[in-house]
Amino acid sequence: MNSALEVILQFPILSGIILLIVSPVIILLIRKAGHGCKLLGLYIRAPDRAAWMTGDLSPDEINSYFQLLASRHDACPRHGNRRIDRLHWQIYMGFVHLRGRLSHTPAGIIGMVPAARWYFDNYNFFYKALMAIQANGNLIKFHSMPALTDAAENRYPRVYSLARSIVSSSKFHLNIEHVFTIIENYLQGRQLLARELWTLPDMLTLCLLEKAAEQSRAVLRIINVKQEADRVVNHLSARLGHDEAGIPHLLRKMCKPGLLIDSAFVSHFYFRLKSMFIADKDIESWLIEAIGNPANQNGVWLQEVLDTEAENETSCSASYHR
């Protein structure tokens, strides 16, 4: 081994050829190892972002807001800013996690959550949109975008903050006229670089995907709650018809704190038992006793929960089939 190494060192040209052959392999292995670490969740998360805008604003209020936003958007040139890269990967991993969870969720549960079906059906669209932003090295162009100097904005690119505000103000339903009006008002107080304007469509897409990824967490929570309700009902089914007096105690014992007042859990638990031909009054009495509040308050609360859940499922199903 030592003699072979000595021979190679004596011939610089041979050493260079070997280095040219080996280097790409080493670089590829390093990149694959880095990608594998990211898939395992070992990656740097994007810094916190500002909260999404809430509330209904009139057109005049929106115009005033963006003029004020422009006056606050002091930015400076910044190179090597990888915040959008990290955010892009974080969104991607959020959708990968969502798809993995949905793939292992029983079809019956997914069928009861219209939003879960929507995410499942549109996963390929999300994936293609994320890859389109990344294609041909497009993420690199965000590295040198002017970044906000305000510490509260965590030095994100100015165009990202603008795109996020546009998406929020439009209630996550964009139209060209609305976007053009906002940009015109913004430009009255702050000029944007041409490359910022060119990247604005990609930023708007990224912000919509970011919001969709955030909302998917709520969908997963509902799925978890409904699966927990299934587990509880399956465990209690052995006691139905006999020894029903101990069901409220078992409910308190089996359910995590706060679960018995969760509307998704209560509604799924109720309709599962109802499908097993259990009387409404029995289900209500078990829940009321398990929660431990006065019966009259719980009866009203329970009926409100069931009515609201029924309305939500009806409206979601109708919109889904449209």
- Residue 203: predicted pLDDT: 94
Same domain, 142 and 168: yes
Domain presence at residue 147: yes
Tell me the two tokens of residue 199: 């990247």
pLDDT at 5: 53
Tell me what pLDDT residue 262 has: 84
The reply to whether 70 and 195 lie within a common domain is yes
What's the Rg (C-alpha) of the chain? 28
Residue 155 lies in a domain: yes
Q: Which of 192, 224, 256 is the last residue of a domain?
A: 224
80 and 215, same domain (yes or no): yes
Residues 209, 277 within the same domain: no
What are the DSSP calls for 203-240, one per residue?
HHHHHHHHHHHHHHHHHHHHHHHHHHHHHHHHHHGGGT
Instruction: Say what the alpha-carbon torsion angle 122, 105, 264, 228 is, to the nearest 10 degrees.
Output: -160
User: Are 171 and 290 in a shared domain?
Assistant: no
Do 169 and 310 reside in the same domain of the chain? no
Domain count across the chain: 2
Does one domain contain both 76 and 217?
A: yes
Instruction: Give residue 185's domain range.
Output: 59-224
Q: Are residues 180 and 250 in the same domain?
A: no
Task: Indicate whether 27 belongs to any domain.
Answer: no
Neighbours of 224 (CB within 10 A): 15
Please tell me whether residues 171 and 261 are part of one structural domain: no
User: Which of 224, 254, 288 is the C-terminal boundary of a domain?
Assistant: 224
Q: How far apart are CA 166 and CA 170, in angstroms?
A: 6
What's the pLDDT at 295? 44
Q: Are residues 72 and 205 in the same domain?
A: yes
The closest of 186, 204, 227 to 72, measured between CA atoms, is 186
Per-block mean pLDDT, blocks of 10 residues, the chain (322 long): 55 64 74 69 80 84 91 86 92 92 89 89 93 83 90 88 93 90 92 93 95 93 92 85 79 85 86 85 84 56 67 49 42
Given this model, what pLDDT does residue 310 score? 62
Residue 282 and residue 180 in one domain: no
Statement to judge: residues 304 and 155 lie in one domain:
no
